[in-house]
Amino acid sequence: MKSKIWITSFLVSIVILGGCSKNNSDSDNNMEHSNMTQEDMQMEDGTEGDMENSHMSHNDPLTLNDSTGENDLIIPPVLEHEDDEGIVYNIEAQEGSTQFFDGYQTETYGYNGSFLGPVIRVNRGQTVKIRTSNKLSDETTFHWHGLELPGEADGGPHQNLKSGESRIIEFKVDQEASTLWFHPHPEGKTSEQVYKGLAGLIYIDDENSGNLGLPSDYGVNDIPLIIQDKKFDDQKQLNYQEAKNEDGTIGDALLINGTLNPKLTVNNEKVRLRILNGSNARNYTFKLSTGNSFVQIATDGGFLNKPVTLNEIKLTPSERAEIIVDFSGYDSSSDVALINEDETILLPFAINNQLIDSGNIPESLNDFAVTDEERNLPVSKKLELFGMGNMVTINGKQFDMERIDFTQKQGVTEIWEIYNKPDMMGGMIHPFHIHGTQFKIISIDGIEPPENEQGWKDTVAIQPGEKIKLAVKFKNKGIYMFHCHVLEHEDNGMMGQVKVE
């Protein structure tokens, strides 16, 4: 019902947007249009929209339910590889059904299973082959988000696989230890396929990560958390067309690693959480219910130089962070959970009274640096993000597979300046992502990024009105996408192509 209102007209949708965003906290609300005043809300003829009614008809879709903690968090399996002809992994996109609710089978998509996928774990320096197979009835692609690999292996919309087709890609892992992920990228269909369950993690290990002494017992004190919100219909189905919102589909049901109402049992020790915001559009601000701090050790593409102590961390769609939470001060009677900014309980923790000495987090983790040379480079590419709904653009244009928007030389660093141009409503956050590279944030509105963003990134959250400078270098050649990672914005054409030669 709600979605029908959305498509009636641009102006009506503006009013609805305003109506629901005004009562919601900044980061929770993907549809936020900041700095809104009553004036902004007026129609062009000077009349005011009927905000009360439109708000009521919106059925409060933005509120996420608390996790009751009744289900143990699912830990995705680590994918085994064949060793006969080098390192070969098999990844199959499949249709299946998954039980989220007692007595209901939900039709879903998954990799090598019915929902989400396994963790592909590789070492830096390895040559890896992945046999990708499309067992869906629809076309798809296999995109490796955050991997620095040749354009032809990147799995953007050009590398379409029809139903039944398969393809082997091969690449050398040539970047540092990090938590990356993979998901489909077929033109115009990414949001629906991710929403139905296609996503998985990629871990890269290297010498440094092996020597730091960080918590690394997979599934015990080194825990992946794929955070997604969904909307189940009356039949407990993920009906994308019904849930769809052109400005970013959100839901009231939280899934972590595909677990509804998850709980995680931990020992009295330091636990590393590798968090991926795998949602179509929702932003999260993660905190501990106790108000205690935690430390962030890694960004999208690698370790920070040193651990950064935080009370909260905000992740927009597709961003990752590795954080370490020290549970040694708690016991089984402690009430502690990972919560969202508005206090929604995302993941309650159960504490095993088993004190384990997990040592200290090293003071020095990496040698990431922005050089003076990079800081002084002139801007050579300018991008302007603008619009909302299905009228989103980059530099006034919508995605065209036949059009190359930029070219860049392999191995040459360029400064990209990205401006999120506000609209009459204020605008919204666009998480801006570039394929095939890990970049550095040089500045945000002329100012150095916060300490916890001074590391390798492949997605950066850009607030309305903000101008961000990135130092971007591609190690490989090919055609790469850049786009907003609100998946509906991507599908609606807020995407362009850079050709690296």
Query: What is the spatial distance between Cα 161 and Cα 169, in angstroms, rounded to a whole number?
Result: 13
Identified binder of Cu ion from the candidate list 81, 282, 430, 483, rule CB under 5 A: 430
Task: For the segment 2-41, give every residue that binds Cu ion (CB under 5 A).
Answer: none
Please report the beta strands in 311-458, taking only residues with DSSP state E, as ranges in sequence order: 312-315, 320-326, 336-339, 345-355, 379-386, 393-394, 406-408, 414-420, 430-434, 440-444
Q: Does 486 bind ligand C2O (CB under 6 A)?
A: no
Q: Does 484 bind Cu ion (CB under 5 A)?
A: yes
Contact partner at residue 435 from ligand C2O, Cu ion, none, CB < 5 to 8 Å by partner kind: ligand C2O
Q: Does 55 bind ligand C2O (CB under 6 A)?
A: no
Contact 31, 17 (CB under 8 A): yes
Contact 440, 457 (CB under 8 A): yes
Task: For the segment 311-350, give every residue that binds ligand C2O (CB under 6 A).
Answer: 318
Q: Which residues of 322-352 are buried (b: 16+ CB within 10 A; e: fewer)?
A: bbbbbbeebeeeeebbbbbbeebbbbbbebe
- Residue span binding Cu ion (CB under 5 A) among the ranges 203-211, 395-403, 424-432, 468-476: 424-432
Sign of the dihedral through C-alpha 208, 214, 220, 225: negative
Q: Does 270 bind ligand C2O (CB under 6 A)?
A: no
Q: Which of 313, 249, 255, 257 is nearest to 281 (CA)?
A: 249
- Residue span binding ligand C2O (CB under 6 A) among the ranges 197-205, 334-342, 357-365, 481-489: 481-489
Q: Does 272 bind ligand C2O (CB under 6 A)?
A: no
Contact partner at residue 230 from ligand C2O, Cu ion, none, CB < 5 to 8 Å by partner kind: none
Nearer to Cu ion, 271 or 484 (CB): 484
Contact 55, 19 (CB under 8 A): yes
Residue nearest ligand C2O by beta-carbon distance: 145
- Residue span binding ligand C2O (CB under 6 A) among the ranges 111-119, 219-227, 364-372, 477-485: 477-485
Please report the beta strands in 196-247, taking only residues with DSSP state E, as ranges in sequence order: 200-205, 222-230
Contact partner at residue 486 from Cu ion, ligand C2O, none, CB < 5 to 8 Å by partner kind: Cu ion
Q: Which of 119, 326, 298 is nearest to 226 (CA)?
A: 119
> Where do runs of H (alpha helix) occur along 259-405?
372-376
Q: Does 489 bind ligand C2O (CB under 6 A)?
A: no
Nearer to ligand C2O, 33 or 320 (CB): 320
Q: Please list the residues that pair with 323 across neighbouring strands.
A: 273, 296
Contact 256, 338 (CB under 8 A): no
Q: Which of 284, 280, 181, 186 is nearest to 489 (CA)?
A: 280
Q: Does 116 bind Cu ion (CB under 5 A)?
A: no
Q: Does 486 bind Cu ion (CB under 5 A)?
A: yes
Distance of CA 334 to the CA centre of its chain: 30
Q: Does 430 bind ligand C2O (CB under 6 A)?
A: no
Q: Which of 334, 235, 308, 224 is nearest to 274 (CA)?
A: 224
Q: Does 433 bind ligand C2O (CB under 6 A)?
A: yes
Q: Does 457 bind ligand C2O (CB under 6 A)?
A: no
Contact partner at residue 430 from ligand C2O, Cu ion, none, CB < 5 to 8 Å by partner kind: Cu ion
Q: Which of 74, 78, 64 is nearest to 263 (CA)?
A: 74
Sign of the dihedral through C-alpha 361, 343, 70, 61: negative
- Smallest separation (angstroms) from ligand C2O to the CB of 144: 9
Nearer to Cu ion, 199 or 486 (CB): 486
Task: For the segment 132-151, give every residue that binds ligand C2O (CB under 6 A).
Answer: 143, 145
Identified binder of ligand C2O from the candidate list 274, 314, 469, 483, rule CB under 6 A: 483
The residues binding ligand C2O (CB under 6 A) are 143, 145, 183, 185, 318, 433, 435, 481, 483, 485
The residues binding Cu ion (CB under 5 A) are 430, 484, 486, 489
